Amino acid sequence: MATSKPPLPATHPVAGSRVLALVDGVAWACARLGDVLLVLITIFLTYEVVARYVFFAPTKWTQDVSIVLQIWFAYLGMAFVLRQRQMIRITALLTVAGPAVRRAAEAFSLTVIAAFCLVAVIYGWDIMMDSIRLGRRQPTMLEMPNWIGELPVIVGFALLFVQAVADLIRLPFRPAPEFSPAGEHGPAEDDAEAASAEGPRK
């Protein structure tokens, strides 16, 4: 039975990198901000229901604002989801593959994610700048500028790109990713390191 690499010592330049720690911290903070946005969306929609069906005085801003906040919520969480290894993936073959194959597959997926993020940021930036230049607005009563709903796409994919690069840098120095046959979601790398540090279970 193959054994995983031991966890990185705290003195290792990759494990102790403040830049990589900062990337993880930003992803965590954005995820927590997304939680706050979700609470706000719930409050706004509840307010709209009460105003519309109890006081017969519907608002014209709750729907537009809630949709924009939902877009921000979705894109702000992508980097954190990647860091936790909770992206949807097909692991039927990886569950029986060796450590080298699993590590290579993880590197390939992270590279593809990073490349797609670059494309999304570049094209998203062009679209947002066109919206600002042309003064595009949403066809709703509130008429919010389009760029408010387009900016989170750029921010979200930029954060996801940085997180993918950070995970790619760490990959050669970490234990090979584990893919459980019981589900698509393997443990986060930090959990895998902790399990490796404890040694094999008897």
Query: Considering the entire predicted model, what is its pTM?
Result: 0.80
166 is a domain residue: yes
pLDDT at 186 over 90: no
Q: Which structural domain range is residue 59 located in?
A: 18-174
Closest C-alpha to 15, from 200, 178, 159, 189:
189
Provide, rounded to the nearest whole percent, the portion of the chain with pLDDT above 70.
Answer: 81
* pLDDT attached to residue 70: 96
Kindly report, residue by residue over 26-40, the tens digit of the pLDDT. Answer: 999 999 999 999 999
pLDDT at 191 over 70: no
- More confident call, 95 vs 70: 70
pLDDT category at 181 given cuts 50, 70, 90 is low
Kindly report, residue by residue over 118-140, the tens digit of the pLDDT. Answer: 999 999 999 999 999 999 999 98
38 is a domain residue: yes
164 is a domain residue: yes
CB atoms within 10 A of CB 62: 20
155 is a domain residue: yes
pLDDT at 43 over 90: yes
- More confident call, 68 vs 86: 68
Rounded-to-integer distance, Cα 177 and Cα 89, Å = 13
43 is a domain residue: yes
pLDDT at 161 over 80: yes
The 3-state DSSP class for residue 60 equals: coil
**What average pLDDT does the chain have?**
84
How many independent structural domains does the chain possess?
1
CB atoms within 10 A of CB 47: 12
Q: Spell out the residues 6+ positions from residue 6 whose beta carbon is closer than 8 angstroms to its own.
A: 175, 196, 197
pLDDT category at 176 given cuts 50, 70, 90 is confident
86 is a domain residue: yes
Kindly report, residue by residue over 82-110, the tens digit of the pLDDT. Answer: 999 888 877 777 777 888 998 999 999 99
30 is a domain residue: yes
3 is a domain residue: no
